[in-house]
Structures are given as C-alpha cells and as structure tokens.
Amino acid sequence: MFFVLFVFVYLFNNAPPIHFSLKPFPVFSSQHHHFFHHFLFESKVCSSTMVFYRSVSLLSKLRNRVVQQPSLTNSVRWLQIQTSSDLDLHSQLKELIPEQQERLKKIKSEYGKVELGKITVDMVLGGMRGMTGLLWETSLLDPDEGIRFRGLSIPECQKVLPAAKPGGEPLPEGLLWLLLTGKVPTKEQVDALSKELRSRATIPDHVYKTIDALPVTAHPMTQFTTGVMALQTQSEFSKAYEKGIHKSKYWEPTFEDSLSLIAQVPAVAAYVYRRMYKGGERIGVDESLDYGANFAHMLGFDGPEIQELMRLYVTIHSDHEGGNVSAHTGHLVSSALSDPYLSFAAALNGLAGPLHGLANQEVLLWIKSVVADCGENVTTDQLKDYIWKTLNSGKVVPGFGHGVLRKTDPRYMCQREFAMKHLPNDPLFQLVSKLYDVVPPILTELGKVKNPWPNVDAHSGVLLNYYGLTEARYYTVLFGVSRSIGICSQLVWDRALGLPLERPKSVTMEWLENKCKK
C-alpha cells in the first residue's frame, strides 16, 4: 500500500504539464492509467487495487488540476485532462480531424432535417439578425454571457492559458492553439508555436514596395489590406490546387497559409504604422519575444505594460463567432476555395467599415471631443448634455450597444480591470468610467436600443492612448491583426470538414409582398 501511495504522490507531483480539451471524456487519462497498472503488476501489489482507484478518484477531484466549464445552460461538465507533450500543432490537428469529420457526418445523417427556427420578414430585411445559418467551431457568442472560445469564457481563458509571466495576460499563441485544437496548451507547446510563428514572419520585399506605391496619407486599413493581398503570391493552397491536390487534403496547405499569414500580419501592420507616423523606419522581429510583445516591439513600444496590453488586446479581439461582418466575409470568400490570403483580405475590407472595426477609432475621437468641449473634469450633467447633443444630431454614442450582446461586453470588462490595475488615475480612463454610468440610462430612456451597455470598442482606445499609441486612425489595423487568429483558425476547419460553397437564397420586395399575401 505504501508503495502505491508513493507512486501516486510521485506521479501527481511530477506529471507532465496538463492541458484541457473540450470533450466530456473521463478526467483520468489512459497514459496515467497504464502507468499505474505497470507499477501494480510489476510490484505484485494487486491487493492494493482499491487504493489505486480511490487515489484516482481523489486525483480527479483535486481543484487545481481540472477546470469546470459552465455550459450556456448553466450545467457543468468536466474537461478532459491531456498529458500530451507533442509540440507539433500540425500532427495534433491530423489526429483530431478524422474524428470531427465523422462527427459532422453523424450530425448531417441523424439531424439533417431538424428545424432550427423560423425565418421572418424582419430577419430578411434586418441584416439576417437572429437567423441561425453558419457553422463556426472556434467560438460561440451568447447574448448574456458574451464570447466563449471553444467553450471557455474570457476570465477562464485568463486563468488557464499560459502567460509570459505568472499572473500575466494570456499569450495569443495559446489562444491560437485552443481555437485550432479545442485544447488548452502547455507552456512548452505555446513556446514552440511562438518560435514557429517567428520563423514564418519574414516579409518578401515586394510587399513593402506594393505598400509604398500608395500615398502615405491612404487610410491605414487600405495600406494593410494591400500588404496582405501582396503576400498572396506565396500561397501554398493556391499552388497545391493548381497541381490538383485531392479535396481531402485541402486543409493542409490551408493550415500552412494560415500559420504564415498569422505570423506575417504583425510585421505588415507595423510597417504601415512606421511608414505613416514614424518616418518609415522598420523594426525587425525580436527572436526573444512572443507574438503580442513582438507586435508592440515592431510598432516601436517596448515597455512591459504595453506588451502585456498587446497580449490581452490580440487575445480578446481574435474571434467573435462567425456572424460578424469580417468573420462571415472570410468564411464566405473561402467557401469559393479562395486561399486564406484572399479570404482574409476580404475580411479586412469588411472590418474597415464604420459599423464594424472602424468603431474603435471613433470612440477615442468622440471621447477627445468631449474633453475638448467640456474639459477633463467634466461633470455628470455636462456629460449628459453632451450625450444628448450627440444623439439629437442624428449620431450614435460610439462604443455602446451590440448586434448580439444584451449585457456589458466581457471584453470591455477585462480591459477595465487592466486599466484599474495599471492606470487608475488616467483622466481619459476616469471619463470612460463615467460614461459607463451615464450612457446606458440615457440610451434606455431613448427606447430604441436593445443593448445600452458598452462593447469592446468603448475601452481599447483609451488604453492604447495612455501608452503612447495615440493615432486613432490606426486602431482598426490592430483589430485586424488580432482577427487573423480567429478567422484563419476557422478557415482550416472549413477545409478539414469540407464545408460547401455558401449560397443563400435572396428575394425581391415583390416576392415578399406576394408571399405574405398568401
């Protein structure tokens, strides 16, 4: 018995780093199961089998070794403990894909005729809001809970994803691994992925020349999208398709393109910033830094706090399920078998719209207009008057409301927590805090807004401004870099699952009138 307990304690204290999958399998892995049985057999301690299984039960209950994941229905399921030390993301996907392909086939064969809801005229005329019509594996948005990345909320991701330092913000590479595999990676896996991304980050010289052909005054998103399009010449998917690759292998060159694209967009985005605002001097990749910190470095910001902010920013902006303009655009274009570069460039053009990604620049500009009009020490009454002035002029208060969410955006809240920790006395942050108290009641009084609460854009600009990244016109580019992680992860699964060309039915007003008169 003592020997068995010794083995149990040794294994628990010396087990390889664990990470979690989103499948409700038993919490004790087969590797550990076989490990114990080997010792039990060799030591001929069969009489201690009951002690072993009790130890297994205790292990599964230890709070600091597992994660409970509340589902959207408030139920709880245990996440599988993984002990794999495989550092190769490609091989992990290769193991996962066949299982998910069979899962999709089963859903189609067993539930293909199940109705998911009714379509109303309001949905057709209202931008298809509330209409379920896309498969998007990497994240799911709940109106009340906010975004979940592979089932994990933002606070949960902050707890379980590896960080650059203890208690720090999650590394974006960790979220990329999670979105692609559904598993929380180890720090070693994240470090390996970070190294691979750095190895793919070299930018061909023609990309810089293509951007330089544009006026330096062109909008940053125009320059950024042009750079992404110029990267397309290296597409592995395009080359493989021209050579006649079998459709069952589409996902592999898509994976290669996606990793390269994710690796390269920070350097392209940083060049746009340096060209527009810093005289055009490029800053290269630092081989010692992770993805978020390197992005800040290439922009020209090397402080530890802004590196932490960039890690947080990229992580929380990476994905927001598939129905938003940029994600849906990327999926739509990719469904025509356009490669990830073409698909992501199209997504960026959607992101550049004022009703989508451009909103984050509008928020900071509006906040600064409040300060210019009322001063930094604006009173609550002055703020109310300015808000009504904005609304009565036919404009919206930027940063408030959301097409799906019906509560405060969790992405706003984690940025607020960052500000309270690092810049509690910043005047603009204090103004944002006042807006959080003042704006929602006014929008509720207006009666036309389903969600009066702040979204992610209401806070990000103030944080960036505090650390010296003051050029609001550039902020959507930061959003675009982040969104590459979510969109490209889903593109890999689009090809792995063999999702078809997207082709919804459209109708005319006459058709609607005739249909509704019947």
Q: pLDDT for 316-329, tens place per residue?
A: 999 999 999 999 99
* Phi, psi angles (nearest 5°) of residue 452: -90, 5
- Stretch 60-87: mean pLDDT: 42
More confident residue, 33 or 391: 391
Give the residue numbers annotated as catalytic, written as ranges.
356, 402, 457
pLDDT (0 to 100) of residue 405: 59
- Give the C-alpha separation, 25 to 100, whole Å: 15
CA distance 281 to 287: 19
pLDDT for res 485: 98
Mind listing the pLDDT tens digit for each residue in 78-136? 343 344 568 899 999 999 999 999 999 999 999 999 999 999 999 999 999 889 999 99
The residue among 367, 361, 328 whose CA lies nearest residue 347 is: 328
Q: Give the per-residue pLDDT at 518.
A: 80
User: For position 376, what pLDDT does the model report?
Assistant: 81
Average pLDDT over residues 262-281: 97
Per-residue pLDDT, 65: 35
Q: Is the pLDDT of residue 187 over 50?
A: yes
Q: Which element (helix H / strand E) includes 148?
A: strand 146-149
Per-residue pLDDT at 418 exceeds 90: yes
Q: What Cα–Cα distance (Å) separates residue 134 from each residue in 124, 139, 140? A: 15, 12, 11
pTM of the model: 0.83
- 3-state helix, strand, coil split of the chain in percent (to 5) is 60, 5, 35
Nearby residues of 254 by Cβ (< 8 Å), 6 or more positions away: 237, 339, 340, 491, 492, 494, 495
pLDDT beyond 90 at 513: yes
Is the pLDDT reported for residue 199 higher than 80? Answer: yes
pLDDT level of residue 406 (50, 70, 90 thresholds): low
pLDDT at 498 over 60: yes
pLDDT in tens, 421-445: 999 999 999 999 999 899 888 888 8
